[in-house]
Chains A and B, each alone.
Chain A
Amino acid sequence: MAKLEAKNIVKYFDHDGQPLKALGGINLTVDEGDFICLVGPSGCGKSTFLRIVAGLQKPEEGQILLDGRPIINTGPDRILVFQEGALFPWLKVQDNVEFGLKIAGIPDSERHEISKRYLEMMDLTKFANSYTYQLSTGMRQRVAIARALVMDPEVLLMDEPFAALDAQTRDTLLVEMQMIWQKTKKTIIFVTHSVSEATVLGNKIAVFTHRPSTIKKIFSIENKRPRLSEDETLMKYQQEILAELRPEVKSKGDGE
């Protein structure tokens, strides 16, 4: 059943004072437990769409429905993992992970118990008392994922979280991300510019057109997990997706 629905989302960017139509009416249905990856040419507004789902930006037209109810604001039922993690450098790893729980007023002992569980799950227990600058980029993204999971969101939103990682770290996290999804059964919307990443992670892949963007096509991949980047069975999908993307990348005339 539909967990989250985007209905005709339209969003304009401000481009040197001129309104530029970025999202030209996005319609998307995400089912409960879906792991859906959004791919598209750069600048097509897929990250903006994710922020609109998170309630951090407002669309000019259209609405987002969560369990059938329109979302009005940002809220802990839709937690976003940022590209650069956006961890707080003034807090230790554990306090970063517990931030949302503390805001929600969860008592200390319960909070520590929850964070302990997720720190273990993300293999971060040793680093609970470190500050974020002491961690590698990969470790920081693990903390960011743990910080999002403790909130137990209805929908987990991820904005190119692995874009800044080296290939090896990314491969490890791609496998872990699939395990997390299978374990928590979360509904996940994952924005990426990497088609191979999308085919590894997603059970659905939505391809955005060039702006003003709409959703061009949705692919389903039912291959068994854990999938790896080098899986040959994924090649077929990657080629099909790239074939859809290629004209979109070419059609952009503004050399971004």
Chain B
Amino acid sequence: MNRTKRFGLIACAVAVTFAAGAYAGGQGESKASGQKAKITLWSQFADPKSMDSGAIAFFKALENTRTRFPDVEIEHVGTGGEAYKQKIPVAGAANELPDMFFWWGGGTAEPFIKGNRVLALNDLASDGTLKRLVPGTTDNFVFGDKLYGLPIYISTAQLYVNKELFLNAGLKVPATWDELTTAIVALKAKGIIPIALGAKDRWPAMFWNAILDIRMGGVSAMNAALKKTGPFNTPEFVAAAKKFDELIKLGAFGDNYMGTSYDDSVNLFLTGKAAMIYMGAWVNGQIEADNSPVKGKVVPINVPAVPGGKGSSNDWHGGCGETFFMNANLKNKEQVWPVYKYFVETMAKEAFLAGSGSSAWLSESSDVAKMNILALQIGLLSAKATGFSYWWDQILTGNDTESMFGSLMQFIAGKSSPEQYAQELQTKISDRK
């Protein structure tokens, strides 16, 4: 064999290898077209056996929707936890989002709205759907004057109180701020952590800051600050930070709140080592689980009004922030819309029954008997709500959230004063529009 021939052979082999790869790639793509209409759906609910009330509701709704629309094939991909929060932005950047995907409203959704990745629903939802929603529940999904997602359930944070520990210490469930601080001192003296706080994960500390801001400044001032139409460095918010500081100095959160993770803090509460926890309704399931040591001993209450504050005890930290978005490039949106609508409404109902919070959809009475007792009590409390302010880390954009967390952690570690902290939020978030 001469040299040129051998070279030609090698070149051939290389070419064949590449061609084979290209052919295999092409085959995968052509599989997509089928007989049934197909909807791809991504969510962060990866485990069908999960006891998380959101996951329970999701999988029940998915099953119901599949039965209801037999001619539609819903292909679901669930990715749990943090991985999901990376997966969607990456898919968004590559413009490879699925037809429908679970995501959060507010600042978290902003890049997708600005990048025209998400379908506006105004035309589709003008079929009477909007009238069936609890007023105010779409706030976090409206950008400009366009609506991008339908709400699922109203999630609230409340103070869970272990009645047994209070009774043993001769205390009553606090209705006023003074009663709360008295209880904190008394519990601490008995060697019980008054309030479990998982500040290692940062957002639980944010919850306390948020509710104190809401109590001192009121819901409207809070929402204005978060939407950058109002200031963060008002005297009310400084006073709220001072209250937070007072609680910390009082030992309300024990000694190790900084190194305690969210999971650890819930465990402290579940095992009766801590007497209170201020947390979202998603812990209902864990508290009332059959193997929970505090089952039946816990009552949810509003964080009491703070003297001198503008907010009332019926202002809530929480609201509607989770939804499913639809892909802006969706071709058969008229066909997908009824499926989407049915799915979201079913999930709202199931989430309510599973104890995630009250439904954002107005509907005839549900089967209350099977419900989580805590969810029922919270539903009664939040029915009197005068206003909602949603989780900061969802309303703010990712960058603002990290800046906020940075300042917050410095503050609760005692490295900056309440005034400095409020001013930092003002410069880092509000002044940067």
Asked if A and B bind, the verdict is no
